[in-house]
Amino acid sequence: MDFRFSEEQDELRQQARAFLDRRLPAAALGQMADSEPGWDPSTWQEIAELGWLGVSTAEELGGAGLGYLEEAILIEEFGRRLYSGPYLASVGLALPAIPQGQLGELAMGRVRWSLCDSETLRLVPNLMDVDQVVVVERDQVYSVPAAGQPLTSIDATRRMGRLELGPDRELLATGAEAAELALRLRRRKLSALALEAVGLAQQVLEWGVEHARAREQFEKKIGSYQAVSHPLVNSFVEIELARSLAYWAAWLLAGGHEDQLAAPAAYAAAAEAAVNTCERVIQVHGGMGFTWDSPLHRYYKRSLWIQHFGGPPDLHRTQVARQLMLSSEAGPPASQSAPGLRTIARTTR
Amino acid sequence: MELQDTAEEAEYRARLRAWIAEHLPQELVGLGTRTGRLPLLRQWSRALSDAGYVGLTWPAEYGGGGGRYALEGIILEELARADAPQHLGTIGLGMAGPTIMVHGTGEQKAAHLQRILQAEEIWCQGFSEPGAGSDLASVRTRAELRGDVFLVNGQKVWSSYAHLADWCILVTLSDPDAARYRGLTYLLVDMHSPGVEVRPLRQMTGDADFNEIFFTDVEVPAANVLGEVGGGWQVAMTTLLHERATLGFALTGLLDSGIRRLLALAAANRDAAEPWLAQIAHEWIQLQALKLTAHRSLGQLDRTGMPGPEGSVIKLAWSESSQRMTKLARQLLGETAVLDDGIWNYQQLRSRGNTIEAGTSEILRNIVAERVLQLPRSR
Chain A residues touching B248 at Cβ < 8 A:
none
Return the domain boundaries, chain B.
Answer: 7-88, 123-232, 244-372
A1, A6, A5: which is closest to B69 by C-alpha? Answer: A1
Q: CA end-to-end span of chain B, whole Å?
A: 40
What are the residue numbers of the active site of B? 243
Q: CATH fold of B123-232, please? A: Butyryl-CoA Dehydrogenase, subunit A; domain 2 (2.40.110)
B378 touches chain A (CB under 8 A): yes
Query: Is A241–B290 a contact, with Cβ atoms under 8 angstroms apart?
Result: yes
Helices (H), chain B: 7-23, 38-50, 69-81, 90-91, 97-103, 106-117, 232-243, 247-268, 270-273, 277-304, 310-332, 344-350, 361-367
Q: CATH fold of B244-372, please? A: Butyryl-CoA Dehydrogenase, subunit A; domain 3 (1.20.140)
Query: Is A265–B285 a contact, with Cβ atoms under 8 angstroms apart?
Result: yes
Is B141:B132 a contact under the CB 8 Å cutoff? no
Query: Is A321–B29 a contact, with Cβ atoms under 8 angstroms apart?
Result: no
B6, B7, B240: which is closest to B102 by C-alpha? Answer: B240
Cα separation, B263 vs B357, in Å, equals 27
A331 pLDDT higher than 60: no
B305 pLDDT higher than 90: no
pLDDT at A342: 32
Chain B residues touching A342 at Cβ < 8 A:
339-342
pLDDT at B21: 96
Q: pLDDT digit string (tens) for A93-107?
A: 999 999 999 999 999
Smallest Cβ distance to A241: which of B5, B317, B366? B317
Chain A residues touching B292 at Cβ < 8 A:
3, 244-245, 247-248
pLDDT band at B195 (very low <50, low <70, confident <90, very high): very high
For chain A, the average pLDDT equals 92
Is B209:B34 a contact under the CB 8 Å cutoff? yes
Smallest Cβ distance to B278: which of A225, A242, A317? A317
Q: How far is CA A308 from the centre of its chain?
A: 12
Compute CA distances B215 → B127, B149, B159, B186, B203, whole Å: 13, 14, 13, 15, 22
3-state SS assignment for residue A66: coil
Show which of residues 171-200 on chain B sit within 8 Å of chain A, judged by CB atoms.
none
B241 pLDDT higher than 90: no
pLDDT band at A333 (very low <50, low <70, confident <90, very high): very low
Strand B210-221 versus strand B196-201 pairing type:
antiparallel
Q: pLDDT digit string (tens) for A18-43?
A: 999 999 998 889 999 999 999 999 99
pLDDT band at B34 (very low <50, low <70, confident <90, very high): low
Preferred mutation among A71, A73, A224, A237 to probe B, highest tally of B CBs within 10 A: A237
A227 pLDDT higher than 90: yes
Query: Is A248–B342 a contact, with Cβ atoms under 8 angstroms apart?
Result: no
Beta bridge partners of A143: A134, A170
Is B230:B174 a contact under the CB 8 Å cutoff? yes
Sequence length of chain B is 379
Q: Domains along chain A?
A: 179-326 (1.20.140.10)
Chain B residues touching A220 at Cβ < 8 A:
376
pLDDT band at A329 (very low <50, low <70, confident <90, very high): very low
Query: Is B299–A4 a contact, with Cβ atoms under 8 angstroms apart?
Result: yes
Query: Which range, of A138-147, A187-196, B23-32, B136-145, averages the lowest pLDDT?
Result: B23-32
Q: Rg of chain A over CA atoms, in angstroms?
A: 22
Does the complex come out with an ipTM higher than 0.95? no
Q: Which residue of B lies nearest to A312 if distances are taken between CA atoms?
A: B278
CA A235, A237, A240, A244 dihedral sign is: negative
Query: Is A244–B292 a contact, with Cβ atoms under 8 angstroms apart?
Result: yes
A154 touches chain B (CB under 8 A): no
**How many interface pairs between A and B have CB atoms less than 8 angstroms apart?**
194
Sorted by sequence, the CB contacts under 8 Å of residue B10 that are 6+ apart come out as: B4
Helices (H), B149-200: none
Q: CA end-to-end span of chain A, whole Å?
A: 41
Give the minimum alpha-carbon distance from B269 to chain A in angstroms, rounded to a whole number: 9
Query: Is A230–B369 a contact, with Cβ atoms under 8 angstroms apart?
Result: yes
Smallest Cβ distance to B268: which of A3, A251, A338? A338
pLDDT band at B302 (very low <50, low <70, confident <90, very high): low
Please name the amino acid found at residue A338. A
Sorted by sequence, the CB contacts under 8 Å of residue B114 that are 6+ apart come out as: B62, B63
Smallest Cβ distance to B299: which of A3, A234, A248? A3
